[in-house]
Amino acid sequence: MDFKEIIKSFDLKYDNFSIETIQGGNINSTFLVKINYHGKPDEYVLQRINSQVFGSPLAIMDNIEVVLNHLDSKILYYIKSKDGKSYFIDKEGNYWRIYNYVQNSISYSSTDNYDLIYETGKAFGNFLLQVKDVNANLINETIPNFHNLVIRYNRLEKAKNLYRFDDVKDEYLFLLSLKEKACYMQSEFSKGKLPHRIVHNDAKCSNVLFDRNTLKYLAVVDLDTVMPGLIAYDFGDGARSICASKGEESNEFNKIYFCLDKFEQFSKGFLTELKDYLTINEKQTMHLGVFTLTCELAIRFLTDYLMGDCYFKINYPTNNKIRALNQIALLKDIIKKENQIKIITNKFL
């Protein structure tokens, strides 16, 4: 990677710069750029967009521009390239973008702090309220059928009998046994009973920036997958990621459970923002998002393992299998706690 070539293509003034890798994220590669200009330091975030996953990086950047223009807060912004574009293409055909590093901000990949969990819910709830009148015609579907469980099951079933199947047969059969329920929301949507909204589609804790001092949320980031979807999917994705007792990478399966106290905080933040905007059907099915999204992630990790790890970045050969087993452990606890999950959800609707 020729960082000199990349950095100099953007409309940034600097005397010198240094680059550090930022860990985290299963798709794009992220770097912190520290610059100095006339003795003054400044920081930016540089990302290489994974164009295997996002077939059209231009479509993502167009979406992001529409969304950022629409949001009240202008705290997050992109640096244009010297030729006025929101990205730069290097000699190897990689797409790069740079955005500001939001000063005094901090993000968490997980937390036990209830105030932060409440704030995370509020951040996403408020984000959804703000993007509700984005003109859907201006938003490209950057990854078609992203949270479509029917399609996710088709892909899993197609991957059956690939070389690693014997290794995960029980997990495969377990997920298959949940198919009808997992596809319920998709079928309600197909019948026109659930509205498509503009949603975030990757609503996890690490995608919220907080003020370092007050711990109030500042911004929702990672806008790559903002496109039409169901609100319950953001609710469920946020809950499965923030209320799990162990992170997605953990292999301590017997210590993985869904924390209802955390869920209460997340639900309160998320649903209090949105409740006046939701339809009756959305309210009645909201709790199902938690089950559905956890099931989806288990399916996606397992499918990727069977297909030979072509989608998610892996750190070791069985990483995707461990992630699938992790989500299955969480899912089993979510199934056990389904009633309480519904009661808590309804409390804030």
DSSP H or E run through 198: strand 197-199
CB closest to Mg ion, residue no: 202
**Binding flags for Mg ion, 152-191, as an x/- string (CB under 5 A):** ----------------------------------------
- Kindly state whether residue 25 participates in binding ligand GN1, applying the rule CB under 6 A: yes
Contacts 24+ apart (CB under 8 A), 173-178: 174/328, 175/295, 175/298, 175/299, 175/302, 175/328, 178/295, 178/331
Residue closer to ligand GN1 by CB (options 7, 123) is 123
- Kindly state whether residue 247 participates in binding ligand GN1, applying the rule CB under 6 A: no
- Kindly state whether residue 234 participates in binding ligand GN1, applying the rule CB under 6 A: no
Residue from the set 119, 171, 188, 222 that interacts with ligand GN1 by CB under 6 A: 222
Residue closer to ligand GN1 by CB (options 9, 292) is 292
Footprint on residues 146-165 left by ligand GN1 (CB under 6 A): none
Distance CA 344, CA 349 (A): 9
Give CA torsion, residues 276, 277, 282, 286, to 10 deg. Answer: -70
Shortest distance (Å) from residue 38 CB to ligand GN1: 35
Distance CA 102, CA 261 (A): 30
Give yes or no for a contact between 78 and 68, defined as CB atoms under 8 angstroms apart.
Answer: yes
- Kindly state whether residue 222 participates in binding Mg ion, applying the rule CB under 5 A: yes
- Kindly state whether residue 107 participates in binding ligand GN1, applying the rule CB under 6 A: no
Could you give the angle at the alpha carbon of 195 between the alpha carbons of 123 and 28, nearest 5°? 50
Give CA torsion, residues 150, 153, 154, 159, to 10 deg. Answer: 170
- Kindly state whether residue 119 participates in binding Mg ion, applying the rule CB under 5 A: no
Residue from the set 120, 225, 294, 345 that interacts with ligand GN1 by CB under 6 A: 225
- Kindly state whether residue 325 participates in binding ligand GN1, applying the rule CB under 6 A: no
**Would you state the structure tokens that stand for residue 136, as one six-digit string?**
């859907």
Q: Give the residue from 227, 133, 149, 134 showing the smallest Cα distance to 188.
A: 149
- Kindly state whether residue 202 participates in binding Mg ion, applying the rule CB under 5 A: yes
Distance CA 56, CA 237 (A): 24
- Kindly state whether residue 202 participates in binding ligand GN1, applying the rule CB under 6 A: yes
Footprint on residues 47-86 left by ligand GN1 (CB under 6 A): 53
- Kindly state whether residue 234 participates in binding Mg ion, applying the rule CB under 5 A: no
Shortest distance (Å) from residue 279 CB to ligand GN1: 25
- Kindly state whether residue 27 participates in binding ligand GN1, applying the rule CB under 6 A: yes
Give yes or no for a contact between 223 and 63, defined as CB atoms under 8 angstroms apart.
Answer: yes
- Kindly state whether residue 304 participates in binding ligand GN1, applying the rule CB under 6 A: no
**20 has which bridge partners?**
32
Contact partner at residue 107 from Mg ion, ligand GN1, none, CB < 5 to 8 Å by partner kind: none
Give the binding site for Mg ion (CB under 5 A): 202, 222
Give the binding site for ligand GN1 (CB under 6 A): 25-27, 53, 202, 222, 225, 248, 297
